[in-house]
Structure formats: C-alpha cells, structure tokens
Amino acid sequence: MSHHAARCAIRFVNLTRALSTEARGQKVERIANELLHLNRFDRHDFTVLWRLKMGLHRYGAPVAGVVAPSVAAAGSPGSEDSAAAEKTVFDMKLEKYDAAAKIKIIKEVRSFTDLGLKEAKDLVEKVPCVLKKGLTKEEAYPIVEKLKELGAAIVLE
C-alpha cells in the first residue's frame, strides 16, 4: 500500500468515526427531546421502566435477583406463564371507590404519587385506572390496605 493510499485509508476511518459519533450524538439528542415532551404520567412510566431495565430499586439501590429476572422473563417471547408465576413488580389499579370517600382517596393518592390536586382528582375520576406502576408487594401492601379502608377497590396486576 502506498503512502498516499494509507493516508486516504486513515482519513476514511477518521471520517467514519466522526460520522458515527455525530449519528450517536443526534440519536441521544433526539431521545432527550422526546423525553422532554412527555407528560408527567409518561415520564413516571419511563422512569419506572428504565429503573427496572437497569436493575435498580425505586430508591436507586441495586436489587439482585428480584427485579432483573422478572424483566427478563417478561421480555422473552412465549413466557407469559412463567412471567406471571415469577412476577415481583405490580401495577396498582383502582377498580372502583365509594363516592363518599372520594376526597380522602384523592388525598391518599397524592400522598404516594407526585401528582398535584387536579391531576390526582382527574386520575381518580377515570376509574378504572392505574394509580402507580412498578411496585413490589411490600411497597404496595400498606397503600392498598389504606385505600381499602377508605372504601376503594384496589387490584394489583
């Protein structure tokens, strides 16, 4: 290979690296822009899903053998039965509630979410609806019990 051919090859490699770096940068910027345009509920769903995929607990501590296997089982095709048997993360769904306890239920929903009064009211009024996603049984149990005391029918899915 001549000296000129070698220099051309090096320039081509450098140009290819620059283009792939630029493409990656554009991809990351596109993803960041999409995340900025999500509403509060979608941002929450994304955060929960991201932490599950990264194997992180809600508070940032790694959870070995608890969250990661359920994500892997749920992601593999044809494994719905095994995923249901091994499920460790649940969504809390409000099925119905006693109309007289609506205000108390809204206050309780606000206590375990980052929703404002209007958002919590709108969410509760959309019965049936998912109140919180990505909870373990241990996290969900006290909340479910409190909501049941107030007159709500709650299901973990």
The full set of domain ranges for the chain reads 1-37, 39-88, 90-157
Average pLDDT over residues 123-132: 86
Q: Compute the distance between CA of residue 86 and CA of residue 80 in angstroms, rounded to an integer.
A: 10
CATH number of 90-157: 3.30.1390.10
pLDDT digits (tens, 9 = 90+) for 85-107: 567 888 888 888 888 888 998 88
Q: Compute the distance between CA of residue 79 and CA of residue 63 in angstroms, rounded to an integer.
A: 22
Rounded to 10 degrees, the C-alpha dihedral 67/73/75/77 comes to: 180
pLDDT digits (tens, 9 = 90+) for 26-46: 887 888 888 888 888 888 888
pLDDT digits (tens, 9 = 90+) for 55-86: 765 444 444 444 444 444 444 445 455 545 56
Helix (H) or strand (E) holding 94: strand 90-97
- Residue 77 CB burial class (10 angstroms; 0-12, 13-18, ≥19): exposed
Helix (H) or strand (E) holding 70: helix 67-75
The pTM assigned to this predicted structure is 0.45
Tokens linked to 60: 């940032």
